[in-house]
Amino acid sequence: MYLQHKPIPGYWYTNIVGQLLQVRMLLYRGTHLVRIQVEYANGRREGLTPGDWYRLDLALHSPRRVRWDRIHDL
């Protein structure tokens, strides 16, 4: 099942067709998120608006999530 995930720099996500993409950078104007730069596993980079990001059908793929949860729970 795919859900809407908040973009987290350094985390990997899988889209509905199985492509891996990593959030490389978030660009803010003040406190407002205006751009999300992602990089696909093939090296292609793309800038997305927050609206574009939340329209993607993504699943969290990054194993860092598990490690963060373990650290957070300590």
Supply the DSSP string of 10-72, one letter for each residue: T-EEEETTS-EEEEEEEEEETTEEEEEEEEETTS-EEEE-HHHHHHS-EEE--THHHHHHHHH
Domains of the chain by residue range = 12-73
Question: CA-CA distance, 61 to 73, in Å (whole number)?
Answer: 20
What band does 5 get if pLDDT is binned at 50, 70 and 90? Answer: confident
Percent of the chain residues past pLDDT 90, beyond the cut = 58
Give the pLDDT of residue 74.
41
pLDDT, tens digit, 9 for 90 and up, residues 32-71: 999 999 999 999 999 999 999 999 889 888 655 444 444 4
Q: Which amino acid is at 49?
A: T
Give the pLDDT of residue 65.
47
Q: Which amino acid is at 36?
A: I
pLDDT(30) > 50: yes
Query: How far does CA 47 lie from the centroid of its chain?
Result: 12
pTM above 0.85, yes or no: no
